[in-house]
Amino acid sequence: MALLSERVLNMSTSATLAMAAKARELKNEGKNIIGLSLGEPDFNTPDFIKEAAIQAINDNYNSYTPVDGYAELKDAIIQKFKRDNNLTYTPNQIVVSTGAKQSLANVAMVLLNDGDEVILPAPFWVSYSDIVKLAEGVPVEVSTSIETDFKMTPEQLEAAITPKTKMIWFSSPCNPSGSVYSEAELRALAAVLEKHPNIYVVSDEIYEHINFTSEHFSIARIPSMYDRTITVNGVSKAFAMTGWRIGYIGGPEKIARACNKIQGQITSGANCIAQRATIAALEASTDKIQYMIDEFLKRRDIVLELLQEIEGFNVNVPEGAFYVFPDISSFFGKTLRGKTINNATDFSTYLLEEALVATVTGEAFGNPNCIRISYAASEAELRQAIQQIKEALQ
């Protein structure tokens, strides 16, 4: 009998973490690698949030919390949904988890049976596909390209639906493309879903605040979608709190209670101090984090301008998150410095070895023509990295 389960043997390792490990290896060999592969803000957690955590420690918040989160935190989440998204939830519709990643895993486990299909507009966030497979679901990738700003059209959605379709999962703003679905685009997708009342929607809004368009729109605001949308969010990205591990969902009560049941057997709930800190984060005015959003926008524009100077890079204008997702397929078949580039993975590896810049292959996100470059790095690092990329491609 094999030691490891088929479940884990069939899983792929996170490509972003694999790239970070490879970059670390080269760093240990003395190479000066500029890391643009991780999806992590390079800011410190704001002081007002840190102070709330210190206060919680001093106030002896040290016991198990309610499995689905402190009542005060659930209230803060309810207020946040109302204030930012015009969504109304009751406490029984909210579940706090150990990061949005766990929120997504909970939803997959409570909704999927063997063979149920989940539509993933590609490019999608790297973990979606493996989370779905872990829950015995079948990811159904719908390819998009730079021509449609990496967004799925209603026609594509309609064509991907089968009697086995259980859910559609997407992020807006999107990791990795930075694309933001407008209200009109979401209404058009909703019109297709209205014809298929048994399909649920997972709307991953973790980059909500890192949105350079004038408005973020939640698909659950569309009345026909509210009862079948699970809105996923968290504090990792906008509040620079990746390591605090707090995410949450708002959704139909039946689904929330099922997530609570799963969590009760697996984690007993999220960390108590991080939950108290999250109350401070969510209750604060979003003005308090605007300096980070402004900085991301500034960097996006610098990166776009510099990348456009590199022949062969085809770049869209990402409207949110902190990534650019250039199409680099024009390099396929070329040989540079004796190395042949056949695909995005070869290209990303070439940049690591020859430009000393860590990026992530688009293959990990379901798009084999692109690479993801994170601009959650200082302006000086970004300028230096792109200069090195330019030189390595000459």
Q: Which of 171, 177, 231, 316 is close enough to bind ligand PLP by CB under 6 A?
A: 171
User: Token pair for residue 142?
Assistant: 């719908």
Supply the minimum distance, in Å, between the C-beta of residue 238 and ligand PLP: 11
39 binds ligand PLP (CB under 6 A): yes
The dihedral built from the CA positions of residue 109, 115, 118 and 124, taken in this order, carries a sign that is: positive
User: Tokens 């300096």 label which residue?
Assistant: 291
139 binds ligand PLP (CB under 6 A): no
User: Tokens 């994170």 label which residue?
Assistant: 374
Alpha-carbon span 199 to 207, nearest angstrom: 24
Which residue stretches of the chain are H helix?
Answer: 6-9, 15-28, 47-58, 71-85, 100-111, 127-134, 154-160, 183-193, 223-226, 253-266, 272-283, 290-307, 344-350, 379-392
Residues in contact with ligand PLP, shown as a per-residue x/- string from 88 to 127 under the rule CB under 6 A: -----------xxx-----------------------x--
Residues contacting residue 100 through CB under 8 Å, at least 6 positions apart = 204, 206, 232, 233, 234, 236, 247, 248
Residues in contact with ligand PLP, shown as a per-residue x/- string from 66 to 85 under the rule CB under 6 A: --------------------
User: Token pair for residue 138?
Assistant: 């079948």
Question: Which C-beta is closer to ligand PLP: that of 81 or that of 350?
Answer: 81
Which residue is at the shortest CB distance from ligand PLP? 99
Q: Which of 55, 182, 242, 387 is close enough to bind ligand PLP by CB under 6 A?
A: 242
Residues 211-240 that bind ligand PLP (CB under 6 A): 234, 236
Alpha-carbon span 185 to 150, nearest angstrom: 13
175 binds ligand PLP (CB under 6 A): yes
Q: Are 231 and 95 in contact (CB under 8 A)?
A: no
Question: Which C-beta is closer to ligand PLP: that of 39 or that of 326?
Answer: 39
Question: Which C-beta is closer to ligand PLP: that of 242 or that of 388?
Answer: 242
Supply the minimum distance, in Å, between the C-beta of residue 178 and ligand PLP: 11
Alpha-carbon span 39 to 175, nearest angstrom: 9
Residues in contact with ligand PLP, shown as a per-residue x/- string from 290 to 319 under the rule CB under 6 A: ------------------------------
Question: Which C-beta is closer to ligand PLP: that of 106 or that of 316?
Answer: 106
384 binds ligand PLP (CB under 6 A): no
Question: Which C-beta is closer to ligand PLP: that of 234 or that of 326?
Answer: 234
Supply the minimum distance, in Å, between the C-beta of residue 175 and ligand PLP: 4
53 binds ligand PLP (CB under 6 A): no
Residues paired with 249 in a beta bridge: 95, 232
Supply the minimum distance, in Å, between the C-beta of residue 251 and ligand PLP: 16
Number of residues that bind ligand PLP (CB under 6 A): 13
186 binds ligand PLP (CB under 6 A): no
For 147, other C-beta atoms within 10 Å of its C-beta total: 9
Supply the minimum distance, in Å, between the C-beta of residue 267 and ligand PLP: 13
- As a three-state string, the secondary structure of 198-212 is CCEEEEECCCCCCEC
Supply the minimum distance, in Å, between the C-beta of residue 388 and ligand PLP: 25
Supply the minimum distance, in Å, between the C-beta of residue 184 and ligand PLP: 22
User: Tokens 């995005």 label which residue?
Assistant: 344
Supply the minimum distance, in Å, between the C-beta of residue 205 and ligand PLP: 9
Which of 198, 143, 190, 194 lies closest to 166 in space, CA to CA? 198
Alpha-carbon span 218 to 195, nearest angstrom: 20
Supply the minimum distance, in Å, between the C-beta of residue 176 and ligand PLP: 8
Residues contacting residue 333 through CB under 8 Å, at least 6 positions apart = 340, 341, 342
204 binds ligand PLP (CB under 6 A): yes
206 binds ligand PLP (CB under 6 A): yes
Alpha-carbon span 208 to 232, nearest angstrom: 10
Residues that bind ligand PLP (CB under 6 A): 39, 99-101, 125, 171, 175, 204, 206, 234, 236, 242, 247
